Each structure stands twice: as C-alpha cells, then as structure tokens.
C-alpha cells in the first residue's frame, strides 16, 4: 500500500458517479483554507456501478464519462472521456473507486469487476495510491431512500452495516485505505440534516469534503475555518469535529 500521509499537494482522479462528483466543487475551498494544493478530477456517470465501469474499460474507444476538473483552484471546462485515457493523462497521486449506492450493500455485485478495475489502475497508473470511497446509507426520513431500503429489507443502520462490511472487505483484500464517508454520516447527530433524497445536501457535501481532505492529506480538519455559503456555522463546527474524529478512528481499513 502506497499510503500518502501528510501531503501538501495531491492530484486525485475519481472513478465514480454522483456520490463523488460533488467533490470537484466542495473539496478545493477546504484544501485551500488549510494551505493545501489540490488537483481533483471526476470521471462521472450517474449511478454507475463497478460492473459498468469495467465494461467501459473493455470498450476504450468510447467516451461515456463526463470529466470535470478543478486544477489547483482553476475550474476546467467539462469534456467527455474514458477510464484508460484519463488514467494515462496525468501522474495521479490518488485514484478513488466506489460502488454505486444501490448496489453498495450487496458484496456479490462487486466482483469480479472491482478486482479487474483495480488491476487496470495498477497497470496504467502504477504510481497512484488506489483508495476506496466508502459511500453512505440512505436516510430513513427521506421518502425516496427509505422506499428503496424497504424494498431490500433494510433500514439506514442495516444498509450502512452491509456496505461498510463490503467496502472494508474489498479494501483489506487489496491493502487499500478507505475514505470513511459512510461511517461519518452514520455517526453524525441528526443525520437527516445531511440529506436531499438519496444524495447529500450542502451539509452532507461539506461533511464528505472534510472527510476526504482529512483522509487523503492526513491533516486536522478541525483547523479549517472555511464555511460554505448557506451552511450554519454552528453545524459546520460539528461537521468538522465528526469528520476529524471519524478519520482518526479509522486509520487504515476503517473496520
């Protein structure tokens, strides 16, 4: 495992969907406030699971991803692209991977696609640390999320326990670190304040960005004074504390 700790500048490529794409907007101001340099890029397809990511790798002639990037504070115009192309575009320090939320709780949906994707990243970007992005369970008080979970025989706690186990098993198998977003969300007091349907609202995006910054840069995010527009400063203080405490309690595979 190529652990990147206490870095001051990182190039991060996210292979994901709407649960990671928001980091292109939410993470750079936090990094800047803490004196860190961040180049963050998202390969985005809404609701994209490991299986589809791998099928896209097997069709390198296609460009199914919307690619957004914030390069050290400068927003780039979105383009279309594919995974092999973008793995080779730059010398990434970190490449993150995740399962689609609707499949995250079911470990049978991860393989062999996640293993194949990890192998391809190691082939095309051998210098990069691969990091698992632990996504979150839906909120019991949000109708869309609670309806989905009921169909699976789950509630928020059970969905979190299942996805946490699945992500942890994948990370341990390949000796990868985990960004414990889902763990931070389940620990958050009054977690309904984090959600808009199955996605995070501004509060949730702020929490996730703090967790990412703490995990990838190895910094104490309680020192961050940046508060996004529209966020209650008192809630932001709680958010910083939960993010920092969660990452501190999950030093490697977040068991």
Are the C-beta atoms of residues 169 and 99 closer than 8 Å to each other?
A: no
Per-residue confidence (pLDDT) for residue 7, from 0 to 100: 74
Distance, in Å, from the CA atom of 177 to the CA atom of 131, rounded to the nearest integer, reads 5
- Cα–Cα distance measured from residue 47 to residue 98, given in angstroms and rounded to the nearest whole number: 11
Interhelix angle 23-33/202-217, nearest 10 degrees: 60
Phi-psi region of 141 (alpha: psi -120 to 50; beta: other; left: phi over 0): alpha
What CA–CA distance (Å, rounded) separates 194 from 62? Answer: 36
Separation of alpha carbons 179 and 248, rounded Å: 11
Q: 98 and 157 in contact (C-beta within 8 Å)? A: no
Give the global pTM.
0.95
pLDDT < 50 stretches in the chain:
1-5
pLDDT of res. 97 = 98
Nearest Cα residue to 181 out of 215, 146, 156, 152: 215
User: Is the N-terminal amide bond of 88 cis, ω within 30° of 0?
Assistant: no
Question: Strands across the sheet with 37-44, in order?
Answer: 74-81, 65-71, 37-44, 9-16, 94-97, 129-133, 177-179
Contacts of 37 (CB under 8 A, 6+ apart): 8, 9, 10, 31, 72
What percent of the chain has a predicted confidence (pLDDT) above 90? Answer: 94
Q: What is the pLDDT of residue 60?
A: 87
Sequence-distant (6+) residues with CB within 8 A of 206 are: 26, 228, 231, 236, 239
Classified as helix, coil or strand, 191 is helix
pLDDT, position 1: 37
| Residue 217 · residue 36 · CB < 8 Å | yes
Length of the chain: 255
Sign of CA dihedral 110, 93, 219, 76: negative
pLDDT computed for residue 2 by the predictor: 39
| CATH superfamily, region 9-249 | SGNH hydrolase (3.40.50.1110)
Structure tokens belonging to residue 235 = 């809630």
Q: What is the pLDDT of residue 4?
A: 45
Q: Which two tokens stand for residue 239?
A: 């958010």
Q: Which residues contact 188 (CB under 8 A, 6 or more apart)?
A: 194, 207, 238, 239, 242
């Amino acid at each position: 495992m190529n652990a990147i700790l206490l870095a001051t500048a990182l190039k991060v490529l996210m292979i994901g969907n709407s649960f990671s794409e928001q980091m292109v907007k939410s993470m750079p101001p936090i990094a800047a406030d803490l004196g860190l340099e961040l180049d963050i890029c998202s390969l985005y397809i809404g609701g994209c699971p490991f299986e589809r990511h791998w099928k896209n790798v097997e069709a390198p002639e296609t460009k199914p991803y919307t690619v957004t990037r914030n390069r050290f504070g400068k927003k780039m115009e979105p383009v279309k692209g594919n995974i092999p192309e973008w793995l080779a575009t730059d010398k990434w320090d970190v490449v993150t991977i995740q399962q689609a939320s609707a499949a995250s709780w079911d470990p049978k949906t991860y393989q062999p696609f996640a293993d194949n994707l990890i192998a391809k990243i190691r082939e095309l970007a051998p210098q990069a640390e691969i990091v698992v992005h632990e996504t979150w369970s839906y909120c019991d008080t949000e109708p869309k999320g609670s309806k989905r979970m009921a169909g699976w025989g789950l509630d928020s706690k059970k969905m979190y326990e299942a996805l946490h186990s699945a992500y942890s098993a994948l990370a341990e198998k390949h000796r990868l670190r985990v960004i414990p977003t889902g763990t931070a969300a389940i620990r958050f007091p009054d977690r309904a304040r984090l959600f808009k349907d199955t996605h995070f609202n501004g509060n949730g995006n702020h929490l996730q960005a703090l967790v990412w910054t703490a995990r990838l840069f190895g910094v104490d995010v309680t020192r961050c004074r940046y508060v996004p527009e529209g966020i209650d400063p008192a809630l932001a203080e709680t958010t910083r504390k939960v993010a920092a405490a969660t990452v501190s309690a999950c030093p490697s595979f977040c068991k």
